Structure 1
Amino acid sequence: MNPLNEIAAAIRASQTVLIAAHEGPDGDAIGSTLALTLALREMGKQAVAFNCDGVPDKLAFLAGSDGLVCQLPAQQRFDLGFVLDAGELRRVRHDMRACCQVLVNIDHHPCSEDFGDHYWVDTQASATAVLIYRLLRSLNHSLSQPVAECLYTAILSDTGSFRYSSANPEAYTVAGELVAVGVDPWRVAGGLYESQEAQRLRLLALALATLRLSRCGRIAAISATTDMFAEAQARPEDADSFVNYPRSIRGVEVALFFRQTAEQCYKLSMRSKGLIDVGSLSRELGGGGHHNAAGAELTGTLPQVQEFVFSRLEPLLAQPDA
């Protein structure tokens, strides 16, 4: 039996289900979580959506977002648990093994940790939401408009509005089918990209002023310190996608965003235009991600961590195939 059939069978055999994704959730994590939760409820299951960091404001327009929980009673148990888009079980920040009789890992990240009873990872999928779409189709579940909107939002978000190389033919096909179900692309785009808070733009102005380019002009970085967040009265989620600004510079192959999380602690986001595998570098640094999008956590002063990452990237760019 293949993983898809095994997971479908596990759903049929369960009544209580917990669905979780990684901390600091992005559009794919939240969209996939809510889509699966809503669909399972439509099937008559008692499904709970969980994320330790809640739903980012820009995704609050999605159906079911107001019912997602950030905490679970210690004694609560489930027949079945899903960990979506996480890469590593620890990133859920909840003891899923202890509270779920059967545990499933669904992901599209390379090197995703093999935990639980069922492991379904497809690195060719443009988003975890595509795998949720396949799963629901395998269950012969008719997609409702709310479920379709969650899936579409996840795919749109994780493909960079279909700009990234991950936007493969399947992504367009699935997105087209979801629009046919009743998804309004303008509503989703408006929710994701045209409902920004003022503090996000204040923070962006401060971050863009830190722009640094490598000597070769192929690496660009911006940063945001805790002082900048305080000045802009911004939250960590307000810096989401800031890394795309240095990525847009002509000639840049790798973009970096350093977000300070504590004294001498920085969360690094990396984006590549395809020549450099930032996912591999990120895993070497204790993080994870894809070929073109990855992240890690580093310690040191901002000049130290920037210099360290630049020094690791410059030799890669000097290679003949780069």
Structure 2
Amino acid sequence: MIDAILSTIDRGQRFLVAAHGNPDGDALASTMALANALLEMGKEVVAYNQDGMSAELAFLPGASMVVDSLEANESFDAGFILDSGELRRAGSHLKDHCKSLVNIDHHPHSENFGSIYYVDESACATGALIYRILKKAGHSLSLPVATCIYTAILTDTGSFRYSNANPEAFEIASELVSLGVSPWDVSANIYENRPEKQLRLLTAALKTMIISDCGRLGAVSVTEQMLAETGTGPEHTDGLINYPRSIQGVKVALLFRQTDKDCFKVGFRSKGEVNVGDLARQLGGGGHHNAAGATLNGDLTSIQDMVFSRLQNLLP
């Protein structure tokens, strides 16, 4: 598959690089890693995300080039869709702008769209796949590209704490640091550069925390009213789920985020004993064994009761 990707790059001149909406660190950092590398190869590149570049990742080299819309007549020789699982998560309309699509992902059950399907569930992050592609191409990793790849791996492995922090993750990170990437600078930008309003939202969210009677499920919630009162947006909810997850005895943590009057996005984080990816897919969503999500309709209490019941049946 990598050879086919390199052939696509060689033949084309104008490329689209996109990732899923409501993007996490891997999605945006992988986008910027590939976009910067293609520019260095002399290609024309448009980096796209339907929700734009998040403020906490605006330090990434080239972040200002990310756009959240495309002109109706824009055309690309190929579109690289990263970390998306399904094309609709990045934008189904993107196929209308591209002569071909390349799916690069590490999510299980990733949709087989496009002409090239490069999916490896064993990869720690999509950023690791971008690294493999660039190494096979013989492309010398510049500091901007290295910084983006390091950020992708750092964020998707939970600062090398999650089970996907495999040997390859550390091997790549070691090489990138040797090329000049500063772990301190990257970590400080991600974890020590939060706006005050995000901490106000955290305060409100923690007041909603509930723990199941068995002590193995924990959850926090964010409503539209909470976002409005704190002047925050969906991007400021990133990391909230880690608070119930950090509680002793909790095996699965959840974040319920309201997106409409009777609609909530549910994020799942497992410590390994429960496959939340399977449950999320049953609920119409998707994700990994330990990290997944789904969108559910109904009032918050009913959704929480249903999800907790489903999870309790999965607990060992």
Shift of 1:137: 0.4
Matched, 1:49 2:41: no
Query: Which residue in the other structure is 1:10 paired with?
Result: 8
Write the letter of the residue equivalent to 2:65: G
- Runs (4+) of structure 1 exceeding 2 A deviation are none
Query: Which residue in the other structure is 1:239 paired with?
Result: 237
Shift of 1:96: 2.1
Query: Which residue in the other structure is 1:305 paired with?
Result: 303
Shift of 1:249: 0.3
Range moving further from structure 2, 37-46 or 94-103: 94-103
Query: Which residue in the other structure is 2:278 paired with?
Result: 280
Shift of 1:48: 1.1
Q: 1:109 aligns with which of 107, 131, 139?
A: 107
Query: Which residue in the other structure is 2:181 paired with?
Result: 183
Matched, 1:296 2:286: no
Question: What is the rounded CA distance, in whole Å, between the counterparts of 1:234 and 1:52 in structure 2?
Answer: 18
Shift of 1:191: 0.8
TM-score, normalised via structure 1 length: 0.97
1:72-102 alpha-carbon deviations (Å, 9 max, x no partner): 1110111111000000001112522211112
Structure 2 SS opposite 1:280: helix
Matched, 1:124 2:125: no
Write the letter of the residue equivalent to 2:148: C
Q: Which runs of 5+ in 1 are unaligned?
A: none
Structure 2 SS opposite 1:250: coil
Query: Which residue in the other structure is 1:29 paired with?
Result: 27
Query: Which residue in the other structure is 1:225 paired with?
Result: 223
Shift of 1:128: 0.2
Structure 1 SS opposite 2:100: strand
Question: What is the rounded CA distance, in whole Å, between the counterparts of 1:63 and 1:16 in structure 2?
Answer: 20
Query: Which residue in the other structure is 2:131 paired with?
Result: 133
Query: Which residue in the other structure is 2:265 paired with?
Result: 267
1:16-71 alpha-carbon deviations (Å, 9 max, x no partner): 11000000011000000000000001001111100010011000001110011111
Write the letter of the residue equivalent to 2:185: R
1:268-319 alpha-carbon deviations (Å, 9 max, x no partner): 00000000000000000000100000000011111010001001000111xx
Shift of 1:116: 0.4
What's the Cα RMSD here? 0.7
Query: Which residue in the other structure is 2:194 paired with?
Result: 196
Q: Which runs of 5+ in 2 are unaligned?
A: none
Question: What is the rounded CA distance, in whole Å, between the counterparts of 1:228 and 1:79 in structure 2?
Answer: 43
Question: What is the rounded CA distance, in whole Å, between the counterparts of 2:199 and 2:233 in structure 1?
Answer: 12
Query: Which residue in the other structure is 1:39 paired with?
Result: 37
Question: What is the rounded CA distance, in whole Å, between the counterparts of 1:94 and 1:27 in structure 2?
Answer: 22
**Percent of residue pairs identical:** 55
Question: What is the rounded CA distance, in whole Å, between the counterparts of 1:312 and 1:191 in structure 2?
Answer: 38
Structure 2 SS opposite 1:95: helix
TM-score, normalised via structure 2 length: 0.99
Question: What is the rounded CA distance, in whole Å, between the counterparts of 1:102 and 1:208 in structure 2?
Answer: 45
Question: What is the rounded CA distance, in whole Å, between the counterparts of 2:279 and 2:92 in structure 1?
Answer: 27
Question: What is the rounded CA distance, in whole Å, between the counterparts of 1:240 and 1:288 in structure 2?
Answer: 18
Write the letter of the residue equivalent to 2:199: L
Question: What is the rounded CA distance, in whole Å, between the counterparts of 1:79 and 1:60 in structure 2?
Answer: 27
